[in-house]
Chain A
């Protein structure tokens, strides 16, 4: 079994051993300090387990080999910059071990992201089944009690909380997948600036994800993904697993962002000025700025909760001079900009793909590029709009209302530019374009449902209702999920050298898009009616049963459509028709080389000779490839005449 010699397997074994060592270490300290040793007491077990889990995560990284390069440096041994794989090992093993190739890391991110998407989706299926009718039935079954040791309302709270945070982790990894795979290819670099850091940033998410999901087996947690104290100070041990898991994923986010920033700023091909970059690179750059500067705050706020739970430091305990609202400020200072981390890459994908399928230049390129930076910047001054009802200083709400509403301006620029790009186009509608157009409509719904939450008076009614849930899912599906699938279908031939099934791709879209519209309109409607979020049960007298039933069915359809997509991906990767050359007739450099791209995508650097999206301008090219040694085309494709 070759699997046993992969880095992943070694890492997992090391994580188990590391956890045991960490637990033993705390027990030893407790013995020396003559502290109680009864592990059945949660107060004793919690610090033992927490330190164990942290040790485990470190051990995983050592076991998988993430630190090998740095250890060698420390020992004074030479480290090689050669990233070519060991020819003695089969190719698939690269994906389960530490590898410095950005294309491998991109796919590692992508697959992990989809696994987490599946887990988060499964959670949603479970609690949507519960919500299909009033009364608590499905989740109070004894089976849950047997597997997890709890059931009923607490299980609902745990699943709802995990759905939120696992999806966020999935999205962060998906963003990592997009920027790692695409940015170097788009700007003509052969790899990211710091390959070892890049690999570390991926592998740290693996123990992070494992610990996050394990919270289910440590009693769960019932705070929602926001973890507000004092509730999070009283929640079971699962809370700590949530905090540590997110902490590690956040670490990945910061390290990954440094890489994207440096790569985009310093490694562009000859002649590629900032305003000649493919638009996705702009989106990735704006995203990385946010990740690099804001993620620390969620790490900090979670750390404070951990310390308050473990060591009794009273940061948020009002009776001891702390302040529970302080946490909310720290938390949202990251978690609001974070939603722009989720959507900016997706909006970048939309802007990147539209010109290709519209056969027209991206309308107002500079404005689209700068609007990403504009959103990123304004995004830092709006966090307290999550707190209009929180009891913070009442007058502070006014400036946050102004800033919040201003986000509509750069977002509007994007919409108008997309419409301008489509106007008088020559549109084709293959699967990626369907997902792009679907994304625009859904994100539009997310955009227009925002201002009622921005003006304080209406927010006082809508806050903490399903309306917020609907608005948020619109922005996530329109800003991330649909563009992510568009990107998967669009670059699938590039990644695998094979074509996906167009029929199944379209089926995926025509199931998922209408089902999501039904689901989200149901959410918005219930929220306006005053249905609270995060409740396992609702009063049958309110008459919400039928709406919930329809929403649950729509949820099942979405889940099924994603399964169809996965089937399509897996089958086509093995048996799809061979995808030759420039499948989409794109001007972008990554389509001028073979699929899948060679180890060094551009052994001969290319030169930028024109604008990226000048479709319809006769005799113009974006890039000119230097004479190649292999079979790659010598000259970039001009405006297509087919």
Chain B
């Protein structure tokens, strides 16, 4: 009996020490959304149960190893105990109660995480190997609805945003550790669009990461998230919805960044996935079928609209998205070509 009392005291001490450590140590990343608050609160409940069960088993085990160890020269067996039906029932029923309670609060926290705000703004997220693109729809003063594309996810603070997630190719997953929640992004059109609701509550710059393996550059599939005050967000939207008033080449650079071209085409001569754009204009390249082409406007346009038609030797077909004809306007393609021409 004295053994049990000692062990019980040790279990309590160990549980409190471990529980305080786990709930206070900086184990989670910065908390930047209302949903993160909910997730972290639930995690704290988990930590206390983790602390208790680790303590319970490990203290009993260590105590047995130390105290009930066979001494030198000792012979004979341990106490003859076959089991105890009541104890077995007890340690079946109590865990059933605990897990059911956990499942109930698990359901409640899920409801909190997914709570809908009717005022929420909508952002469309497009994932493709290996870049993110974000589209906002804005109604101008004249009542015209325009879409704004951005390679940065800019969000207003303290306002719920509904992300409508689309994939162009394989399954990706939208994940911002500081917001705590993630959702897979599925290919296949409207039926497969999934929603994720986030209410950022801290200003700052974070990263969207792809959390579902999606091929070669999966590790590098990321984009910036900026959480700004509401007024700043409105100003940003207004600025973006204007026409591109820069030179053609500068606009082209903006589209190349926005639409993810630069994830695979470098500007400094290194080969990432596709050919580097540096000095490519005017160069002569050999194609996989043996013929050669000079890289000029027409070839670039064709390669954007139908990427697999004329592949330069040493590159793989089937990697570049084939839907730029639907995504980019005629002007945007011309401006991208102007940008490539400027990279001598």
Contact = CB atoms under 8 A, between A and B. Distances in A.
Given A423-B60, A425-B78, A426-B76, A457 B182 contact: no
B77 to A, nearest CB: 4
Interface in B44-75: 46, 49-50, 53-54, 57-58, 60-61, 64-65, 68-70, 74-75
A234 B318 contact: yes
A359 B77 contact: yes
A455 interface: yes
Contacts of A555: none
Nearest to A460: B181
A319 B189 contact: yes
A82 interface: no
Nearest to B43: A458
- Chain A interface residue bracket vs B: 35 or more
B15 interface: no
Interface stretch (A44-52, A199-207, A220-228): A220-228
Contacts of B81: 360-361, 363, 420, 423-424
A365 B82 CA distance: 8
Contacts of B98: 408
B110 interface: yes
B133 interface: no
Interface string B171-211: 10101011011111011110110100000000000010111
Interface string B13-29: 00000000000000111
A293 B18 CA distance: 41
Nearest to A392: B184
B145 interface: no
Interface string B91-107: 11001101110110111
B217 to A, nearest CB: 6
A460 B169 contact: no
A261 to B, nearest CB: 27
Nearest to A425: B78
B267 interface: no
Contacts of B186: 318, 324-325, 391
B103 A402 contact: yes
The CB with the most chain B CB atoms within 10 A, among A222, A365, A424, A611, is that of: A424
Contacts of A525: 27
B159 interface: no
Contact of B107 (A398, A426, A437, A532): A398
Contact of B42 (A234, A428, A458): A458
A460 B39 contact: yes
B79 interface: yes
Nearest to B69: A427
Contacts of A230: 169-171, 187
Given A224-B213, A234-B318, A319-B187, A537 B91 contact: no
23 contacts: A358-B78, A360-B78, A363-B81, A363-B82, A364-B83, A389-B173, A390-B184, A391-B186, A391-B194, A401-B103, A409-B96, A420-B81, A424-B78, A424-B81, A426-B76, A426-B78, A448-B50, A455-B102, A457-B38, A461-B181, A463-B182, A532-B175, A539-B207
State the 9 A-B residue pairs at the shortest beta-carbon distance, nearest first.
Answer: A318-B188, A530-B177, A455-B106, A535-B219, A364-B83, A616-B77, A616-B80, A425-B78, A360-B78
